[in-house]
C-alpha cells in the first residue's frame, strides 16, 4: 500500500469517526465501539516465531458493530479494521467475527476469527527477502484482546493479532503484532 493510499485510508476512517460521534443516534444504532491503537510490528517469539520486517509502530483502527449474537458469556459482533505500518512494510485491512466477554469487574476478553487482505509479499521468484512471505493476498486474521472498561464509554486494552494462511500455501511466514488500544463504546 503506497503512502497516498494509506493517507486516504486514515482520512476516511477519521471522517467515519467524526460523523459517527457527531451523530450519536446513528452511532448507537450502527456501532458498538470504535478503537484506535499502536502496535509493535512483526514481533519475534510470538506465534510466527521470528522477525524479518523492520521494528516499527503500526496504527490500528477498528469499528465494532452493534449487531450481535448474544451468548451466555458475551456476544459475537462483526468487526472491520485495518493496521497500517508506519515504515512501509506490510499493512492490512480485515473483517472478523469477534467474541467479547465482559466481567462485572470491568475486565473484558476478546477473541476473533476473520480474513485480512494485505499489501506485503506473497513469496517466490522476485519476492523481497526483507519482507515476510505470506503466501497469499488473503490471510486468516486472529485477534486476541484483554482490557478494562474505565467507565461506561472508555476502555484500554492489550491487543494481539496474527495473520497467516494457515499452511494452505507454499509460503506461510505469518505476521504478529501486539500493542495497546483505546476504545470508545456507544
Query: Nearest CA to 139 among 119, 121, 164, 122?
Result: 164
Rounded to whole angstroms, how far apart are CA atoms 38 and 49? 21
Rounded to whole angstroms, how far apart are CA atoms 56 and 51? 12
The confidence score (pLDDT) of residue 1 equals 46
Residue tagged 476473533 (cell numbers): 112
In sequence order, the 6+-apart residues with CB closer than 8 A to the CB of 74 are 99, 100, 101, 102, 109
In CATH terms, the fold of domain 3-185 is Porin (2.40.160)
In sequence order, the 6+-apart residues with CB closer than 8 A to the CB of 29 are 66
* Pure H helices in the chain: 3-22, 24-30
The confidence score (pLDDT) of residue 117 equals 97
Rounded to whole angstroms, how far apart are CA atoms 156 and 52? 29
Q: What is the pLDDT along the chain (186 residues), one digit of tens a residue?
A: 444 555 555 555 555 555 555 555 555 679 999 999 999 999 998 988 889 999 999 999 999 999 999 988 899 999 999 999 999 999 999 999 999 999 999 999 999 999 999 999 999 989 999 999 999 999 999 999 999 999 999 999 999 999 999 999 999 999 999 999 999 999
The confidence score (pLDDT) of residue 27 equals 59
- Report CA-CA distances (Å) from 95 to 52, 98, 128, 186: 25, 9, 27, 20
Q: What is the pTM of this model?
A: 0.85
The confidence score (pLDDT) of residue 60 equals 97
The confidence score (pLDDT) of residue 170 equals 93
Rounded to whole angstroms, how far apart are CA atoms 83 and 57? 10
The confidence score (pLDDT) of residue 25 equals 57
Residue tagged 472498561 (cell numbers): 149
Amino acid at each position: 500500500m503506497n503512502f497516498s493510499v494509506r493517507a486516504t485510508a486514515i482520512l476516511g476512517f477519521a471522517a467515519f469517526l467524526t460523523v459517527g460521534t457527531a451523530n450519536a443516534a446513528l452511532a448507537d444504532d450502527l456501532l458498538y465501539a470504535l478503537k484506535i491503537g499502536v502496535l509493535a510490528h512483526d514481533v519475534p517469539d510470538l506465534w510466527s516465531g521470528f522477525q524479518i520486517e523492520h521494528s516499527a509502530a503500526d496504527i490500528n483502527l477498528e469499528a465494532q458493530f452493534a449487531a450481535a449474537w448474544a451468548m451466555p458469556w458475551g456476544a459475537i459482533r462483526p468487526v472491520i479494521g485495518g493496521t497500517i505500518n508506519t515504515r512501509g512494510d506490510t499493512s492490512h485491512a480485515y473483517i472478523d467475527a469477534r467474541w467479547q466477554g465482559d466481567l462485572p469487574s470491568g475486565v473484558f476478553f476478546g477473541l476473533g476469527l476473520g480474513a485480512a487482505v494485505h499489501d506485503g509479499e506473497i513469496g517466490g521468484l522476485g519476492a523481497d527477502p526483507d519482507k515476510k512471505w505470506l503466501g497469499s493476498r488473503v490471510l486468516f486474521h486472529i485477534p486476541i484482546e484483554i482490557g478494562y472498561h474505565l467507565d461506561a464509554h472508555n476502555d484500554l486494552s492489550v491487543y494481539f493479532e496474527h495473520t497467516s494462511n494457515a499452511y494452505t500455501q507454499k509460503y506461510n511466514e505469518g505476521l504478529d503484532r501486539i500493542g495497546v488500544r483505546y476504545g470508545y463504546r456507544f
